[in-house]
Amino acid sequence: MRAAKWSRGFKSPGVVFEMGCGDGIMLNSLRRYGWHVFGNERTLGAAHFARHQLNVPIFVGGLDSLSPTPTADLIILFQVLEHLEDPLKTLKQLNSLLKPTGKLIIGVPNFGGWQAKIGGAKWLHLDVPRHLFHFSPQSLQYCLNESGFAITRVSYKSFEHDPYGWSQSILNLLFKKHNLLTRFLMRLEKLSIAIIFHLVLAALIGILCLPISVLSWFFHSGAIIEVTADKVKSIE
């Protein structure tokens, strides 16, 4: 679904680089739309799957290890920027990889959204210490402007993160053990009575929070911020 949406912004597919591409699923989808794909991933297991199961060309390591330096028509960082030790430095590096007419797509949790404000320290997407930084629409725009980009499109709508984020955040507020359902989905918890109970509650909460999710999209307060940005100047 995202692959089709992102491809519509181009007259014809070119070269796409995804930073933090995980198991390569998104790059594999983009390849079906005619894109030439490559990416990087620091998790060895995910990188191995992408290379050997999907035949997606990715490298393990940081941007500094790219040699020779390629260029891309599209660069994607989806749920990645918040994990990086120096987001501003990374964005400036990506500026040099992007062609003059290229586009950058970034998705991050929305620290200025309703979920974050109501969930507080128990918000699902706070995810400390895995998330080193959090972004509001204003702080994300600042980082992009400082890195030579100009935002052309912003979306706060995500059927993946809304209303599930509401369900897990509210469960975190109600119970001592946080993110139990998420840990189960990540195969870090085994099926139990508690998990089944949380699944039932999550379904009910999700249905009740669906109208709130839709409203949050219109008020720029959804669970995530997804932006498309153009390169407006080169950063040395």
Average pLDDT over residues 179-194: 92
Query: Is residue 226 within 8 Å of residue 144, measured between CB atoms?
Result: no
**Considering the entire predicted model, what is its pTM?**
0.92
Confidence of residue 220 (pLDDT cuts 50, 70, 90): very high
The closest of 178, 94, 98, 188 to 143, measured between CA atoms, is 94
Query: Is residue 71 within 8 Å of residue 99, measured between CB atoms?
Result: yes
Specify the pLDDT at position 142.
97
Specify the pLDDT at position 133.
96
10 pLDDT above the threshold of 80: yes
The closest of 40, 32, 41, 38 to 13, measured between CA atoms, is 32
Confidence of residue 61 (pLDDT cuts 50, 70, 90): confident
Query: Is residue 145 within 8 Å of residue 232, measured between CB atoms?
Result: no
Average pLDDT of the chain is 93
DSSP letters along 92-129, please? Answer: HHHHHHEEEEEEEEEEEEBTTSHHHHHHGGG-GGG-TT
Question: Residue 169: is it exposed, middle or buried by C-beta count within 10 angstroms (0-12/13-18/19+)?
Answer: buried
> What are the residue ranges spanned by the domains of the chain?
2-158+220-231
Specify the pLDDT at position 236.
66
**Fold category of 2-158+220-231 in CATH:** Rossmann fold (3.40.50)
104 pLDDT above the threshold of 80: yes
Region of poorest pLDDT, from 45-54, 66-75, 123-132: 66-75
Confidence of residue 105 (pLDDT cuts 50, 70, 90): very high
The share of the chain scoring above pLDDT 70, in percent, equals 99
Specify the pLDDT at position 159.
87
Instruction: Dig out the tokens for 156 from the structure.
Output: 């706060």
Sole residue written with tokens 């912004």:
9
CA distance 73 to 103: 6
204 pLDDT above the threshold of 80: yes
- Position with higher pLDDT, 219 vs 65: 219
- Position with higher pLDDT, 31 vs 8: 31
Average pLDDT over residues 77-87: 96
Confidence of residue 233 (pLDDT cuts 50, 70, 90): confident
The share of the chain scoring above pLDDT 90, in percent, equals 83
Query: Is residue 137 within 8 Å of residue 110, measured between CB atoms?
Result: yes
Confidence of residue 216 (pLDDT cuts 50, 70, 90): very high
Average pLDDT over residues 160-164: 90
Specify the pLDDT at position 129.
92
